[in-house]
Each structure stands twice: as C-alpha cells, then as structure tokens.
C-alpha cells in the first residue's frame, strides 16, 4: 500500500491537466507541475494562498468552488476566463470535485484544462496527417521528375556539341540551366527525408548564426530583437537541420515585414508539454515573431503544405521543410496570430519523452 502513494503523486505530477487541491478555507494545499505551468506560478509562492489570490477577477469560479464545497457535489464549468497575476488571460474548462470525509467536504479538487491546448492538439493531428501525405507525394513526384530531367539535360548537352550556330547555343544553355534549377528544387524538397544526426547543440549559437546569415543576405538594416533564456541547456539535435528550419522561418519573417518592421526571437523552457501524443517534462520553445500582416487568410489553413505560397516569387516549400525537420526531432512548429504579431513557434523536445 505504501508504494501506492508515491505512485499516485507521480501520476498527478505528470498529468497534462492542471490539478489544484484547496482546504475547506479555500487555501491552496497542493498544485501539480501542469498547474504551475498553466497559471505561470511557482508552487512555493502560491502555497497557502486563498483561491482568489491565485488568479484575479473570477468571482464566477470562486462562487462555483464555494457552492461545490457547501453542497458536496461536483461542478463543471466551461470556457471560464481566468486573469492571471502576470496580466495574461486564459480560457479554461474546470471540474470542481469535493473530497468527502465522513460525508462532509473537507477539501476541494480543482482541475483546469486550457481550452486552447485542445485546439492545439487538434491542429497537431491535422499537421501530422498533412505532413505524412505531403512527404509521400513529394517523394513519388521527385522520382518521376528526376529521371526524365536527366534525359532532357543529357540530350541538350549532346545537341550543344553538334551546334555550329553560336546564337542557338543560348537555347541549349537555357534548357540545361532550367534543368539544374528544377533538380536543385527537387533536392531541397527531398532533404527532409534524411534522419537527424544528433550531437551537442547550443540553440543560441544556432540562432546567432542564422541571424548573421539573414543579415548578410539583406543589404538593409534589420531590427532583430533577442530575448534568450540563458538557462537553456545544450541539447542533442542535428545542427544543420535546425539551422535550415530556423532559417526558413526567419527568411519568411524578413519577407513579411515592411518599413518599421520588427522581428523578435524569444527562447524559453516550457514544462509538462504533450507533443504528438508524447509527454515531455521540458521542451524548448523558440518564437520567431514579426509585426507584418500575418499569413494571408486564403492560404492560412494550408501554409505548411508544400507548394502553397502567398508570394509571387515564392516556391512554397520553406514552411513544409521546416515543419518536417522539426517533426523529425519529435517537435512541432505552430503558427499563431496574436494581436498584430505573427508567431511561428518551434517546440523542440530536449530529452526522451516520458513513457
């Protein structure tokens, strides 16, 4: 029986749902890691606080908790707005369960689920299906195009040798150059099929490198702000692949901004995250934020598909490649529009997932 208690607390600690336990005076007795993460609080600071001090202005939820305590019955509330002490507002579904002792409610258990995270999970499932289908069709298509392309190029080279008229050589050059361009394009699309070769990687060094590449590509001054979390450890990842993914996102941000444009790179550690059905204790989040107009609404739902572009000169494979590279690291790229800012967020696991 003794081993059951630590097991139960381990389960609660690793749940993705935020769980808070209050005593009958509505003072916090316990909170799990998902609770700390959802409410952006530390266990130490909120322990013993009354419920209305943990989040603000939610009389509705406060009343529901009191009602449940007095009546001894479970209560479910959906879509409740919680104002956190850090100024953020989140929407949660909650389940309030009285813990009965001799038929009286002695403590109260509050489970909070971020409604947004369900939306995220749905999007993740869609992303996975999209990427799997895209990969298959790209590989099939690449094979079908590469073979005849080799033939066309070879024939153009033979023709070039036979031509005496210098002016006609211009046409064979065009055929050869266009074949090479198409071949490069296909090779770019296929780079994602290689498995990552992981070694020690400092994510901030990678970001600095990518910024230097993008600065070198653009002659104009660029306002790139950095907000790095220095406590992020060295991780195991394929440096080349992560560079490629971040580069594709940063180039998109640079192309999206106009005059007075601003790009911000933020790195953070996030705890207790589920990505594609696997639970991680820690992941790294890299936000690439710009204040451009955001992904055009007509392509928003398919922006991660290959060949979907909103730019006249775009090929539409940058996001698809970035997504595949990060997914092969067990991670995910999310797109979100918050206020007048565009967020592309790379969620990158730092470790093996918890079984």
Ligand X SMILES: Nc1ncnc2c1ncn2[C@@H]1O[C@H](COP(=O)(O)OP(=O)(O)OP(=O)(O)O)[C@@H](O)[C@H]1O
Q: Which residues bind Mg ion (CB under 5 A)?
A: 252, 318
DSSP state of 202: -
Residue 309 interacts with which of Mg ion, ligand X, none, CB < 5 to 8 Å by class:
ligand X
Q: Which is nearer to ligand X, 292 or 331 (CB)?
A: 292
Q: Does residue 309 interact with ligand X by CB under 6 A?
A: yes
Kindly determine how many residues on this chain lie close enough to bind ligand X according to the rule CB under 6 A: 22
Shortest distance in whole angstroms from residue 198 CB to ligand X: 25
Q: Name the strand (E) or helix (H) holding 8.
A: helix 4-14
Residues 6+ apart with CB under 8 A from 99: 21, 105, 106, 107, 108, 109
Q: Which is nearer to ligand X, 285 or 319 (CB)?
A: 319
Q: Does residue 290 interact with ligand X by CB under 6 A?
A: yes
Give the one residue of 78, 205, 296, 352 binding ligand X; rule: CB under 6 A.
296
Residue 108 interacts with which of ligand X, Mg ion, none, CB < 5 to 8 Å by class:
none
Interior/surface letters 289-325, b for 16+ CB within 10 angstroms, e for the rest: bbbbebbeeeeeeebbbbebbbeeeeebbbbbbbbbb
Beta strands at 341-349 and 332-338: parallel, antiparallel or unpaired:
antiparallel
Q: Which is nearer to Mg ion, 98 or 318 (CB)?
A: 318
Residue 295 and residue 310 in contact, taking contact as beta carbons nearer than 8 Å: yes
Nearest Cα to Cα of residue 179 among 225, 148, 139: 148
Shortest distance in whole angstroms from residue 35 CB to ligand X: 33
Number of residues assigned to the chain? 355
Which residue is closest to Mg ion by CB?
Answer: 318
Shortest distance in whole angstroms from residue 227 CB to ligand X: 18
Q: Does residue 311 interact with ligand X by CB under 6 A?
A: yes
Q: Tell me phi and psi for residue 67, to 5 degrees.
A: -60, -45
Residue 268 and residue 229 in contact, taking contact as beta carbons nearer than 8 Å: yes
Q: How many C-beta atoms lie closer than 10 Å to residue 220's C-beta?
A: 8
- Pick the piece of the chain touching ligand X (CB under 6 A) from 120-128, 160-168, 189-197, 317-325: 317-325
Residue 342 interacts with which of Mg ion, ligand X, none, CB < 5 to 8 Å by class:
ligand X
Instruction: Report the alpha-carbon distance of residue 27 to residue 70 in Å, rounded.
Output: 15
Give the one residue of 35, 98, 292, 331 binding ligand X; rule: CB under 6 A.
292
Burial class from Cβ neighbours inside 10 Å (0-12, 13-18, 19+) for residue 326 reads buried
Q: Does residue 48 interact with ligand X by CB under 6 A?
A: no
Residue 46 interacts with which of ligand X, Mg ion, none, CB < 5 to 8 Å by class:
none
Shortest distance in whole angstroms from residue 349 CB to ligand X: 23
Residues 6+ apart with CB under 8 A from 333: 245, 249, 304, 319, 322, 323, 326, 344, 345, 346, 347
Shortest distance in whole angstroms from residue 135 CB to ligand X: 15
Binding mask 240-259 for ligand X (x = CB under 6 A): --------x---xx--x---
- Pick the piece of the chain touching ligand X (CB under 6 A) from 208-216, 219-227, 266-274, 292-300: 292-300
Binding site for ligand X (CB under 6 A): 248, 252-253, 256, 290, 292, 294-296, 303, 308-311, 314-320, 342
């Amino acid at each position: 029986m003794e081993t059951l208690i630590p097991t139960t607390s381990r389960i609660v600690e690793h749940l993705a749902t935020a769980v808070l336990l209050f005593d009958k005076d509505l003072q916090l007795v316990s909170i799990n890691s998902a609770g700390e993460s959802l409410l952006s609080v530390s266990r130490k600071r909120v322990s013993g606080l009354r419920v209305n001090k943990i989040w603000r202005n939610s009389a509705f939820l406060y009343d529901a908790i009191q009602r449940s305590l007095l009546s001894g019955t479970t209560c479910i509330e959906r879509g409740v707005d919680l104002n956190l002490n850090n100024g953020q507002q989140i929407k949660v579904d909650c389940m309030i369960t009285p813990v009965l002792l001799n038929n009286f409610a002695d403590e109260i258990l509050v489970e909070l689920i971020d409604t947004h995270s369900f939306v995220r999970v749905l999007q993740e499932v869609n992303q996975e299906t999209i990427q799997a289908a895209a990969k298959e069709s790209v590989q099939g298509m690449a094979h079908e195009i590469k073979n005849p392309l080799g033939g066309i190029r070879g024939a153009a080279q033979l023709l070039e040798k036979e031509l005496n008229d210098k002016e006609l050589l211009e046409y064979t050059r065009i055929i050869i150059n266009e074949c090479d361009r198409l071949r490069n394009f296909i090779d770019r699309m296929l780079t994602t099929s290689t498995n990552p070769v992981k070694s020690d990687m400092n994510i901030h060094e990678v970001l600095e490198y990518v910024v230097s590449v993008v600065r070198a590509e653009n002659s104009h001054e660029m306002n790139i702000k950095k907000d790095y979390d220095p406590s992020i450890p060295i991780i195991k990842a394929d440096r080349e692949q992560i560079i490629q993914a971040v580069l594709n996102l940063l180039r998109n941000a640079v192309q999206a901004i106009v005059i007075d444009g601003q790009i911000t790179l933020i790195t953070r550690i996030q705890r207790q995250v589920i990505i594609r059905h696997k639970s991680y204790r820690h992941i790294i989040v890299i936000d690439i934020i710009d204040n451009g107009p955001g992904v055009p609404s007509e392509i928003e739902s398919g922006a991660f598909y290959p060949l979907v572009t909103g730019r006249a000169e775009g090929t539409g494979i940058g996001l698809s490649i970035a997504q595949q590279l990060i997914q092969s690291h067990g991670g995910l790229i999310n797109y979100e529009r918050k206020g007048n800012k565009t967020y592309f967020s790379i969620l990158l696991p730092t470790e093996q997932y918890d079984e």
